[in-house]
Structures are given as structure tokens and as C-alpha cells.
Amino acid sequence: MTGAASASDALAESIREMIRARGPISFAEFMAQALYHPRLGYYSSGRCAIGRRGDYFTSVSVGPLFGMLLAAQFAEIWEKLDRPREFTIVEQGAHDGVFAHDVLRTLAERSAECFADLRYIVIEPFPILRERQRETLKRFAAKMEWRETVAEVPPFCGVHFSNEFLDALPVHRLRASGAPNEREWRELFVAENANSFDFVEKKLSNEKLRAQIANLPPAPNDDYETEVNLAALDWIRALAPKLDRGVIITIDYGWSRAEFYAPARARGTLQSYAAHRALASPFEKIGESDITAHIEWTSLAEHAENCGLTIAGFTDQHHFLTGLLAANPETAALATKQARALQTLLHPEFLGTRFQVLGLTKNCAAGDSLGGFKFARDPRKDLGLARDAD
């Protein structure tokens, strides 16, 4: 038995013990254990592997171009905030720190004044990842700070950035059943099943989940399954008061509410990956595989507005990066020398339309004038939040 296999077995047994002690657990609890168990979770243990030789591929995996392009956006935000003497970039989901390194190197080389005013905070709860980040970023140690949670971040002026962070937050699983006029949502819990796990239905008991379901469209089909990401709503609620003035930019894959809960998406968006292979069940390779669900952007944007933030833009990665290239001719000239990386980031069949970018602002007039949203459409309309003309 390999070390990885024994760790997976130990994690599965730990989850079984939870179920034996308390009865079936929500899928959100199961997912939290699988990904973030203090010693055995996929992320917290450091077993998460990104890139061609890892379990999945991100924009950062393409090379330094992604960080270089976002550095141009961060520098533009610094300008639009009237060049604050204390400009903070907060990154969440930094993995091994490569994106932060690419951003800091670009700003040091091409935006010296912005770099001089900059501090870079990484929110990272897991010691093994913090150590990797410190090693990657040792050249910029004087600029770096670490915090374990959003709550520990001091109020700041600047940017909060995340890339493929929200999709790994634990989600609740739901199933709708019954005739159209009697259809109701029930939550899918995780129970033991011989040597594995299985889903069992239970009535809704989580009040926050019940309140969020009230905002969703009616279930389109009998036996329709989907997810609700309460953790993402908690995240924006915690983050909003920390931003005194500036911009939140989050990049991930997902759909607006209408698309997310479309009839054709009858089994939801939950996915589990290992070695670039989609697994048949999230109960396979527990602690050795990534578990992820798409983002339902409309609810997140609505919640952000309720927390005092303003929607600055919403578009796909292709249009966002194309906007940055158009707004920064010098950066565009450098990007053309990395043609293959640029094509991967922009092309619809690769990363270009798979990912969306949501921009939120607070106490600043940057709004949709940000370079990345130069070619974006009306964000409220695309998110399904546009008010009727009448």
C-alpha cells in the first residue's frame, strides 16, 4: 500500500467515524473534509498538483503571461485609485505562489512606482502551502505578508484577486422530486455504503440553505440535482468590509443563475479530477483528487451588492484579457512574443470562454472603465440582474 493510498484510506475512515457518530453528513461537510482536512485533505496536505503533470490545468500553468497581464490591470487600478501610498494586493488561493511571483516581477520591472507602494498579502491557511509560497517568493520577501483567513486581513486599499478559488469551496447538493405542482427540494447527505459512501435524501434543515433556495428558479425536472455554494456567499460577506477602497477580481468557471439551473443541467456541475481524468464519483480517491463545482455568478453578485459592493464588470476571460491587451500596448507587444501561451489563454477551445471574470468595486469610480472590461457587455444583463424597462 502506497503512502498516498494509506492517507486516502485514513481520510475515508475519518469521515466514516463522523457519520457513525452523528449520522449522515451534508455533502458540504464531506467536501470540506476531502479537500481541507488538517492533515489528510487534498489541498491541506499539499498533494494538490497543478499543471500538465498534475491533476488539472489553470491559466497560471500556461506560463508567466497570465501574471504579466493581470499585473497591468493591478497597475491601472493603482492609477485609478490616485496612486495610494499604501497599495495592497490580496491574493486568495495562491497555491505555490507562482502567480504572485509573476505579478511582482512584472510590477518591479515595468511599474516601479506602483511596486514601491505595494504590499502583497496571501491568505493561506495551510502551513505546507505557505512554506512553498515563501520559497517561491523569497526574492520579494520584503513585500510579502501572510494571513490564515480573511478575518485576519486588515482593512486595505487596493485589490483582492482570486483565480479558481471559489469552485473549490464546499457546496451543498440538492435533489428535486415530485410532480410539477408538488415538487420540492431535498438535501443530499453522505452516508456509509459498505466500503464506500452514498447519497441519501433528507428534508432541508439548514436555514441559510432554505433562504437561498427561495431565490432560485423552480426545479425544472423530477430527479433534478444541483448545488448551492453557501460558502461563496459567506466569503464575500467576510471580504466586503475589509476592502476600504478598491476592486475585487475573481476568475472562475460557471454560469449565470438561469444557465446554472437550466433543465439540461439535470445532474448539476459537480466534478472530481485526478491526473486530468474526470472520476465517476467524488467518493473515489478521497483526498487524492480535486472536487469542484461551477460558480453560480448571479447569486454571488447579488450578495456582493447587498454587502455594499458595486458590480464593475462581468465577462469571459477572452474578452477580459483582450481588453487588457488593448489598454496596454506595451504589454500587448510583449504578449505577442508568447504567441502559444496567449492563444491558450484566449482561445475559446482552451481557456478563453471557459472562465468568467467578475469585478466588484467599493468607494472608487474605476467601475467598467477598467481595461479588462473594455469589451464587456452590460454585466447586470449578462448576470440576469437587469431591471425591467417598465
For 38, phi and psi rounded to 5 degrees?
Answer: -50, -35
Q: Is the model more confident about 104 or about 340?
A: 104
For 222, phi and psi rounded to 5 degrees?
Answer: -70, 145
pLDDT, position 98: 96
Asked if 304 contacts 360 with a C-beta cutoff of 8 angstroms, the reply is yes
Q: What does the radius of gyration of the chain's CA atoms come to, in whole angstroms?
A: 21
Residues 6+ apart with CB under 8 A from 34: 11, 15, 41, 42, 282, 286, 287, 291
Residue type, 210: R
Q: Give 63-99 pLDDT, tens digit per residue.
A: 999 999 999 999 999 999 999 999 999 999 999 999 9
Q: What is the DSSP letter of 56?
A: B
Closest to 299 measured CA to CA, from 205, 216, 235, 204: 216
47-51, 109-113, 301-305, 317-321: range with lowest mean pLDDT: 47-51
Residue 44 has pLDDT above 70, yes or no: yes
Asked if 297 contacts 166 with a C-beta cutoff of 8 angstroms, the reply is no
Asked if 289 contacts 273 with a C-beta cutoff of 8 angstroms, the reply is yes
Closest to 174 measured CA to CA, from 28, 294, 15, 383: 28
* Separation between Cα atoms, residue 278 and residue 229, nearest integer Å: 21
Q: Give 237-282 pLDDT, tens digit per residue.
A: 999 999 999 999 999 999 999 999 999 999 999 999 988 899 999 9
Mean pLDDT over 311-320 rounds to: 96
Band (pLDDT 50/70/90 cuts) for residue 55 is confident
H/E element, 277: strand 277-278
SS3 labels along 152-183 = HCCCEEEEEEEECCHHHCCCEEEEEECCCCCC
Please report, for residues 231, 313, 320, the alpha-carbon distance to residue 211 in angstroms, rounded to integers and kept in the order given: 14, 27, 33
Please report, for residues 36, 97, 133, 152, 295, the alpha-carbon distance to residue 124 in angstroms, rounded to integers and kept in the order given: 12, 10, 9, 11, 21
The grid coordinates listed for 48 are 494538490
Closest to 380 measured CA to CA, from 364, 366, 362, 368: 368
pLDDT, position 181: 82
Band (pLDDT 50/70/90 cuts) for residue 180 is confident
Band (pLDDT 50/70/90 cuts) for residue 368 is low
Residue 172 has pLDDT above 80, yes or no: yes
91-95, 340-344, 380-384: range with lowest mean pLDDT: 340-344
The grid coordinates listed for 302 are 447579488
Percent of residues, the chain, with pLDDT higher than 70: 95
3-class DSSP assignment, residue 137: coil
